Amino acid sequence: MRPSSSPSEALLRGLSGTPDVDAELDDQHLLQAMLDVEAALARAGADVGLLPGPVADEITRHCRAERYDPAALGAAADAAGNPVVPLVRELTAAVAEPARPWVHHGATSQDVLDSALSLVVTRAAAVLLRQLDAAADTAADLARTHRDTVMVARTLGQQAAPTTFGLKAAGWLLGLVAARSRLVRARETLPAQLGGAVGTLAGYGPDGPAVVRSFAAQLGLAASPLPWHTRRQPILDLAAALGGLVAAAGKIALDVGLLAQTEVGEVTEGGAGRGGSSAMPHKRNPVDSVLVTAAARRAPGLVGTLFAAAGQEHERATGGWHAEWEPLLELVHLAGGATARTARMLADLRVHPQRMRANLDATGGLLLAEAVATRLAPALGRAAAHDLVRRAAARPQFRDALLADPQLRAHLTESDVDAALNPAGWLGCAGQLVDLALDRHREQP
């Protein structure tokens, strides 16, 4: 078994991430991304005639992560403050003598690490987006299946009025759809970084812009019109997209956890063998909801760190850039775990329509007080109708109290009251809204 890279990795880290995404974030993949950048740099130089093609081939041949030791490079990084310096030293020593002057030609350490992180995040985001699509598809299935399943809507923690579970699921769906759109946009515009020591491309002479274009194309990344060494908007856009995704997943998890409470019991997390307690044999805890909620609590701090680090001095930062690396990778890690668990949670979710209806009926029609007041308003005026219904709501047996009020009976029959107290008649445009959400999901690219 491979030793863990940190004491808590095996025991704890798997609870916040997912193997498919985390595999793209490990040291070996980051190292390979750094070497991919060095190889692209050499090939871009050859493309514009700055160095011979065979030299670029020689450098590329040695840009394979298995030839280098990430742990040794990490230890050596302390002397320079980043791992690119020792990597360039080892890569230079590895290539044939004629190629050595051209290793890392015209670049600086930040060019390599920024571009490598763009590569790593882009590759991890491809996996993450597949998981996000699975979560959205399942949310759409729930919205479609339960388009007309009536339940209680809750505001400020209290029962408020009827809604449908389909509309709740449609809200979850659109949160995921919007998060996907932001992440795709941030991923597609995430640029390569190449500017040289102070962002002037001095090492390339007049061929600098052409090298940048070829370099970005070699990596499959966007080409930035100017180096972004201390202009960190691409990182901020990415952080906001990832933070928004975790928040969208966290909203779903929070709702599921509340609906799964024993006293509510409107949904149950599925999954064989999940949710057990070490002390209480009867417990069936909403584990995925809990873990996604935990991720949603952590993500804002990471987003905040990345935004706080964005104010960077002059042409190269003194600490702000360095502060980004780990929070960025941790945010991708959390987003991967939250998305994968949300997909599983929704796929295994058990919905209990009978319990939803029982909870809706538990207050004896009080949830339809707004519907009754709306029927009375044309005759009495909105304020007077509201006050009349509020007085009836304060008495036992809401329906009986309404029918006992002579002012109400002057304008509404018993059949009118019963129609107003029917939850299915006070759902507004819920079904149409579900359909609109499903249309939006189908239309996304």
Active site residues: 277, 316
| Torsion, Cα of 342, 346, 352, 353 (10° steps) | 110
| Residues 6+ away with beta carbon under 8 Å from 375 | 412, 416, 420
CA 348 to chain centre: 20
Query: Distance (Å, rounded) from C-alpha 436 to C-alpha 419?
Result: 27
Query: Distance (Å, rounded) from C-alpha 368 to C-alpha 375?
Result: 11
- CB-neighbour burial class of residue 183 (10 A; exposed 0-12, middle 13-18, buried 19+): buried
Encoded tokens for 356: 């939803």
Query: Distance (Å, rounded) from C-alpha 67 to C-alpha 418?
Result: 78
Among 128, 138, 351, which residue's Cα sits nearest to residue 256?
A: 351
